[in-house]
């Protein structure tokens, strides 16, 4: 009897159930069965974790299977509500845009902050006189840009804000940012729950900082920017990084519970790094540091 009582008292670990369910959601994201934009709403439901833990404490010694069932139901309802709010927008789409001229700038810092939806970042033409242009197509949201100048330098801050109840009206936001290939750029990107394609191959980005949440990221690094420093911080995300041919790389990865995959034919392991054989003498090279929690990171 005492042994049976101890078995009942152990209950079902709520943390294990939560991890399994989150893993299934990420799997469905990668398979295209659920939109990545649902994370823009799902994170707002984090108090449900406290409710789940409380229910397991109350019921684990009485009926652990009831606690398990309630945990699964709560998570499924949260995912369903988030997917509905992300897909169910019926508001009229609004297009906002901006254009900032180079105006003599010889270098620039670009800081961009985007929420949920789809994101595209690429290059303007070589003949463009703009520092940056951007467009947003999204129900109930807005795109804002501010620029400050000091001598020959410019600082551009771009932000996209989603509107509506719990971000519902912005669930299908589409963001596009086009940057000048004519001057060196220091680029800082903060991305929430987005499906992002970033082609920096024609840009002269010499410093890159990418901070992403629950997103699906495809990033192509610059091909002719000289020496580049890149820091990638990823939470629960899928990040695919392409190093263009002709660009050497040195990569260091700090990965938690996620996965880290790298093309060791191009970047063989050397101590704590993965390094191109010609890294030290390469004209175009990138130093990449990856810090991730639950992310899946691929570099090739």
What average pLDDT does this structure show over 19-36?
A: 67
Asked if 41 and 163 sit in the same domain, the reply is no
| Residue where a domain stops, chosen among 39, 55, 87 | 87
What's the pLDDT tens digit per position in 207-258? 999 999 888 999 999 999 999 999 999 988 899 999 999 999 999 988 877 8
Whether the Cβ atoms of residue 225 and residue 148 lie closer than 8 Å to each other: no
Most confident of 174-178, 219-223, 255-259, 268-272: 219-223
| Residue where a domain stops, chosen among 87, 113, 133 | 87
Asked if 22 and 78 sit in the same domain, the reply is yes
| Residue where a domain stops, chosen among 87, 103, 124 | 87
CA–CA separation, 21 vs 17, rounded Å? Answer: 6
- Which domain range does residue 236 map to? 93-299
Asked if 184 and 109 sit in the same domain, the reply is yes
Q: What is the 3-state secondary structure (H, E, C) of 1-40?
A: CHHHHHHHHHCCCHHHHHHHHHHHHHHHHHCCCCCHHHHH
CA–CA separation, 149 vs 101, rounded Å? Answer: 11
Asked if 76 and 186 sit in the same domain, the reply is no
Asked whether the predicted pLDDT for residue 184 surpasses 80, the reply is yes
Overall number of domains in the chain: 2
Asked if 189 and 159 sit in the same domain, the reply is yes
Asked if 81 and 98 sit in the same domain, the reply is no
Asked if 73 and 99 sit in the same domain, the reply is no
- Higher model confidence: residue 175 or residue 212? 212
Asked if 126 and 222 sit in the same domain, the reply is yes
- Higher model confidence: residue 20 or residue 293? 293
User: What confidence score (pLDDT) does residue 229 get?
Assistant: 97
Asked if 108 and 41 sit in the same domain, the reply is no
Query: What string of DSSP letters covers 33-80?
Result: SS-GGGHHHHGGGTHHHHHHHHHHHHHTTT-HHHHHHHHHHHHHHHHH
Q: Is the pTM of this model over 0.75?
A: no
Out of 26-35, 79-88, 104-113, 122-131, pick the least confident. 79-88
What is each CA distance from 229 to 80, 110, 165, 226, in whole angstroms?
40, 15, 39, 10
Tokens representing 140 are 């109930």
Asked if 67 and 164 sit in the same domain, the reply is no
CA–CA separation, 29 vs 194, rounded Å? Answer: 11
Tokens representing 178 are 């086009």
Asked if 256 and 163 sit in the same domain, the reply is yes
């Amino acid at each position: 009897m005492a042994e049976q009582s101890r078995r009942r008292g152990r209950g079902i670990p709520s943390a294990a159930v939560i991890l399994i369910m989150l893993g299934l959601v990420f799997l469905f994201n990668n398979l295209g069965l659920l939109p990545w934009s649902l994370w823009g709403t799902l994170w707002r439901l984090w108090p449900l974790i406290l409710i789940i833990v409380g229910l397991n404490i109350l019921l684990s010694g009485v009926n652990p299977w009831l606690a398990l069932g309630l945990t699964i139901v709560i998570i499924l309802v949260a995912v369903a509500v988030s997917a509905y709010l992300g897909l169910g927008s019926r508001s009229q789409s609004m297009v906002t845009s901006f254009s900032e001229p180079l105006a003599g700038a010889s270098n620039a810092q670009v800081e961009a902050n985007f929420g949920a939806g789809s994101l595209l970042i690429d290059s303007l033409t070589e003949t463009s006189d703009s520092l940056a242009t951007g467009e947003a197509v999204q129900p109930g949201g807005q795109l804002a840009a501010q620029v400050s100048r000091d001598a020959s330098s410019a600082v551009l801050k771009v932000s996209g804000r989603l509107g509506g109840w719990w971000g519902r009206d912005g669930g299908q936001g589409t963001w596009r940012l086009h940057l000048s290939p004519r001057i060196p750029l220091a680029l800082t990107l903060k991305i929430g729950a987005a499906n992002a394609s970033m082609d920096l191959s024609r840009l002269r980005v010499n410093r890159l900082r990418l901070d992403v949440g629950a997103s699906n990221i495809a990033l192509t690094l610059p091909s002719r920017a000289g020496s580049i420093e890149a820091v990638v911080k990823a939470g629960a995300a899928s990040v695919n990084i392409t190093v263009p041919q002709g660009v050497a790389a040195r990569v260091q990865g700090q990965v938690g519970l996620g996965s880290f995959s790298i093309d060791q034919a191009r970047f063989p392991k050397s101590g704590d790094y993965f390094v191109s054989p010609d890294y030290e003498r390469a004209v175009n090279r990138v130093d990449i540091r990856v810090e991730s929690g639950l992310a899946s990171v691929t570099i090739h």
